[in-house]
Amino acid sequence: MPQPHRPQPRPPADAAPEPTSAEPTGTEPPGAGAYTAPPTDAAPPGAAPARALDGILVADFSRVLAGPLAAATLADLGAEVIKVERPGTGDDTRAWGPPFVADPPSGEEPPSGEEPAPHEGGASRRGTAAYFDAANRSKRGLALDLGDPDDAAAARELARRADVLIENFRPGSLAKYGLDHTATRAANPGLVHCTITGFGSGAGARLPGYDFVVQAVGGLMSITGEPGGTPLKAGVALVDVLTAKDATTGILAALRHRDRTGQGQLVEVNLLSSLLGSLVNQASGHLATGRDPGPMGNRHPSIAPYETLACRDGQLLAVAVGNDRQFRELARALGAPELAEDARFARNEDRVQNRTDLIKALERRLASDTPHGWTERLTAASVPCGPVNTVSEALELAQRLGLDPVTPVGEGRIPQVTSPLRLSGTPVAQPFAPPRLDEHGTALRTWLSGPADHPLPPHV
C-alpha cells in the first residue's frame, strides 16, 4: 500500500473516466481484514441507538445524483460512507449553481473586488453548490486520481475493505484500474457492487445517461404537459431519484443475501429501466391497448375529478376523488348533492366520459371560496384535496403536521431535508454536513495504508 499523502490537483483528463449515467455507484464485499464493524447488539440505556446498517462500509465512487443519493440513504440507515472524488474539481455537482453555499472558513478571503480563486472545495471560493449538498450528507470525503498508481492502489484497498461499492462509470472503463466487478469480487467475495448506467451494459453501454435525456427518450415527457402543448420534464431530476431508490433496494436485498450466504453480488440498475418501471398505469395502458398515452395536464386518464380545479380568482385546488363515495361527499360539501345522482356523474367511468361537463359544474360552485377555504371544508368531509403549495409552503405544512421536515447539520451549513424513513427499533442516524473535497483524506489514507484489521478512524 502507498504511504499516506495528499494528492495534488490534476486536470480532469487525468482523473477517473467519465461515468455513463448521472451518478457513479459501486459496492465492494468485505474480504480478509475488511472494515471492522462496531458491535450491533442492542444499545445499553443512555447509549446511542443501534442503526440498521451499523458496521456497513460503503465506498461511493459515484457522482451527480442517483448514486450519491443512494449512498446518502445508506448513511441515513447507519452505514459509514466514504465519497471518492477526483482531485481539484470533485463531483460535477459542486459547481452546479447558483445557489452556492459558503464553505466553512479555511483561509483568507480575496481582497474586495477580486474574483474568487479556484479551490478544491468546488468551482471557486464562493463555496459549493447547494445541489451537491442535497445528495451527499453524512459522508467522509476522499480525493483520489485513478490515473495515479498510488491513488488507484488506495482505491482498490478501499474496495477490498468495503461492504458496498457504488459507481456509475461507463461499462468496462474501471477494468484498467482493477475496480471492475470481476476484480473487486476476486479481491472481496462478499462485496455488493452496484453499478448505475444510463441504458444498461449491453447495446446501450456507450450512451451517456443524464436525467433530462432519459425523461425525453423514456416517454415521460410525452405524457407531461398540456394537450397539444410542448412536452415538459418534471420539475426535479425525477429519474435520478427513482433510480437511486431502485439502487438502494437492490443493495439492501444483496446485503440480506450476503447475510445468509456470505457472498456478494453485482447489482445493476439503469436510468431507462427505472423510468419505464415507474410509468406504471401509463405503460400498462399502452400494453393493454397498443395506443400511446398523451399529455393530459393535471388530469388523470382513468379517474375524475382527479385534477386541479379553479376556485375564487382562478386559484387552483387539487382534488383527488378516488371512488364514488368520495364524489358523493364532494357533491354534498359543495351544496349540490344532485350531482351524485346525475347519470352523467354517478359512477367514475361516467365522470371520465363526461369530464368537461363535470368540471364546469364543479368549478361553478368552487368559485365562491379560496383553495384554503375549500380545503378546510372538503377535508372535514373526507374529500382528498389541497392547495398548490410552493416549496416553502410545503415545508411549512410538514412542520405544522409534526413531520420535522428539516434537520440542521451544523453552523453555517444549509440544513438537510429530513429522511422520510421512520424506524422504531433502529432509528435513522442524525445527519452531518456533506464533506469538503478531500476533507478526511489524510486520516483515510493513513487508515488505508495500515493493517486491514484496524477500525475506521472516528469521524470528527
Radius of gyration from C-alpha coordinates of the chain: 26
Q: Rounded to the nearest 5 degrees, what angle is found at the Cα of 184, between the Cα atoms of 183 and 188?
A: 125
Instruction: Say which of 240, 259, 324, 350 is annotated catalytic.
Output: 240
Neighbours of 408 (CB within 10 A): 12
- Output the nine-digit C-alpha cell for 71: 449512498
Contact 359, 407 (CB under 8 A): no
Neighbours of 386 (CB within 10 A): 17
Contact 142, 90 (CB under 8 A): no
Q: How far is CA 102 from CA 85, 323, 434, in A?
A: 20, 50, 12
Q: Rounded to the nearest 5 degrees, what angle is found at the Cα of 174, between the Cα atoms of 170 and 176?
A: 130
Residues in the chain: 460
Closest C-alpha to 29, from 128, 139, 165: 165
Amino acid, res. 188: N
Amino acid, res. 259: D
Q: How far is CA 103 from CA 122, 136, 190, 441, in A?
A: 9, 14, 37, 17
Note the Cα 401 to chain centre separation in Å.
24
Structure-derived torsion over alpha carbons of residues 8, 11, 13, 16, reported in degrees to the nearest 10: 40
- The alpha-helical segments, DSSP class H, found in 192-311 are 211-217, 238-261, 271-278, 280-289
| CA–CA separation, 96 and 116 (whole Å) | 16
Contact 72, 417 (CB under 8 A): no
Amino acid, res. 359: I
Known active-site residue 369: no
Catalytically annotated residues: 240
